[in-house]
Amino acid sequence: MAASSLKFTVRRRQPELVVPAIPTPHEFKQLSDIDDQEGLRFQIPVIQFYRHDQKTLMSGGRDPCRVIRDALSRTLVYYYPFAGRLREGPNRKLSVECTGEGVLFIEADADVELDQFGEMLQPPFPQLEDLLYDVPGSGGVVDAPLLLIQVTRLLCGGFIFALRLNHTMSDAAGLVQFMNAVAETARNRDPSVLPVWERERLNARTPPRVSCVHREYEDQRQHHQPEGTTSSSAALNLIPLDDMAHRSFFFGREHMASMRSRIPPHLRNSCSAFDILTASLWRCRTIALSPHPDQEMRVICITDARSRFHPPLPKGYYGNGFAFPAAVSTAGRLCGRPLGYAVGLVKAAKGAVTEEYMRSVSDLMVVKGRPHFTVVGTYLVSDLTRAGFMEVDFGWGKPGEKGIVVPVCLPGPAMERFVAEIESLMKTSNNIEEEEEEEEEEKPSNGSLYSDPQLIRSAL
């Protein structure tokens, strides 16, 4: 049975608050000026599938709900800010009041086996709202639980671990660090990495000074638009909210090799798989949407900046440590020029992220009131392949299958065109002509795969 047509029943127990196993400090901890920007003030979901495997099971008969609930309580002793609630102060500054109220936990059972989800477990997941229940009143940013976890037992003995995180608290690296701590505790081990707060390291300078160009935060009302349109009308023309199609695309080694072969040699050996895939998706998506040739299009390439600080952010830091650099081009140039043009733009945007760039972002947040990143004409992509989600082992082995899956949401007709463009791009060929054309040098401004083209939300 295809996962898209799969129907099953989930029986949930009443949601409960899991508190730290022992009393923890009651104090206020400020988030950083990177954490509390508008573009991160939302809840982000994560879902992982675990098979019943006697070869990796630590001991027979263990209940994943009980094991994970107990491990969560013990782990919150170290990560006690997660058991608190966000409060908003002057100038929209967010702080965690470490109240010890706890995180939401749901125990559930589903009358379905893991194999019924199909060979490829990929979005859109059937009945996600049942596997990660939105507890009424829990979805706010402030004065609400910061984590919601649902563990759903399956008929086959496997289980589904689903989590919802207030994104202001952590990025992908920080969340995986916490999940690994819970997993290690579930396996009767102490957390191998202890948490480090130190959010002040990413706060604005005194006085703040925006020293870099940040096209990712440009005022949407000042965008260059085709004559006779406005930012709002252009956005609606690009992303209609009805007739949306959801699909996932798998990219194997041969597909990546085909795309790499289509870019000029000076880029081929110096760019990452993420650079190539992001540029390819951006270009194919733009062709599929068919915007006005003068419409300004951008792709935001979420870039981990932890190692770009001197010294790097400390091991154990679990706040948001990434940037939203944007590559920008008119639709006409993006669609009309070879793939290497888009790859060069993506590579330059990521390369612009330095410690000074991050300092400048923090300063911009304070100077401009914590703005949202630009949405009009924007496509956002984040690479989660190295985040470590595949390594989280609660005692039942590791989740999932290896590979790159990209979920895409587009209007129905545009999706058909997108599929055709992607299929054409991924076809292997032994006589692909080298794109040796002279390309304009795209210099960086001096100044965590997931994609969501409908909502334009950041990923972990």
Told to judge if 134 belongs to the known catalytic residues of this protein, a careful annotator would answer: no
172 Cβ contact list (under 8 Å, min separation 6): 382, 384, 387, 389, 448, 459, 460
Residue 75: C-alpha distances to residues 69, 80, 135, 286, 413 (Å): 10, 8, 23, 44, 48
Q: Residue 87: phi, psi to the nearest 5?
A: -125, 145
Q: Which helix (DSSP H) or strand (DSSP E) does residue 106 occupy?
A: strand 103-110
Residue whose C-alpha is closest to residue 171's, from 53, 302, 355 = 302
Question: Exactly one of 70, 294, 393, 452 is catalytic; which is it?
Answer: 393
**Residue 165 DSSP class:** E
Nearest partner of 306 among 348, 267, 347, 355, judged by Cα: 355
Token representation of residue 387: 């985040």
DSSP code of residue 317: B
CA–CA separation, 374 vs 215, rounded Å? 8
Helix, strand, or coil (residue 301): strand
Distance (Å, whole) CA 282 – CA 291:
13
- Backbone φ and ψ of 133, nearest 5°: -70, 130
Q: How many other CB atoms are found less than 10 A from the CB of residue 169?
A: 25
In the DSSP assignment, the letter for residue 212 is S
Q: Residue 199 gets which letter from DSSP?
A: G
Amino acid at 267: L
Total residue count of the chain as it appears in this document: 460
Q: Which of 98, 75, 423, 68 is nearest to 250 (CA)?
A: 423
How many Å apart are CA 145 and CA 136, to the nearest integer? 11
Known active-site residue 167 = yes
User: d(Cα 392, Cα 184) in Å, to the nearest integer?
Assistant: 9
User: Which helix (DSSP H) or strand (DSSP E) does residue 181 occupy?
Assistant: helix 172-186
Q: What is the number of alpha carbons within 13 Å of residue 154 lying toward its C-beta?
A: 20
Q: Of the residues 167, 214, 223, 255, which is catalytic?
A: 167
Active site residues: 167, 393
